[in-house]
């Protein structure tokens, strides 16, 4: 899964610590999400998207496609 969290955070001019404070999580959580070491829970992904004014699917891009069943 690809995410745009770092790009959105930097565009907003926030540090990882500031984003973490706004979301009520640790800076380490933000770092782990940005470096693809942790996929956020659905509630956290929803809060992140809302904070950046995006849909979840715009912030977190899943390139997975189902196998052809035909």
The band of 1, judged by pLDDT with boundaries at 50, 70 and 90, is confident
pTM for this predicted structure: 0.88
Residue given tokens 């912030």 in the structure block? 59
Distance (Å, whole) CA 33 – CA 1: 11
Element (H, E) at 61: strand 60-61
What pLDDT does 70 receive? 53
pLDDT in tens, 21-69: 999 999 999 999 999 999 999 999 999 999 999 999 999 998 888 987 6
Closest to 46 (Cα-Cα) out of 37, 36, 56: 56
């Amino acid at each position: 899964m690809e995410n745009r969290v770092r790009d959105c955070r930097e565009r907003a001019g926030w540090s990882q610590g500031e984003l973490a404070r706004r979301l009520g999580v640790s800076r380490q959580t933000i770092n782990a999400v940005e470096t693809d070491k942790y996929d956020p829970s659905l509630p956290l992904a929803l809060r992140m998207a809302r904070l950046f004014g995006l849909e979840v699917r715009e912030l977190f891009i899943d390139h997975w496609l189902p196998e052809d069943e035909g």
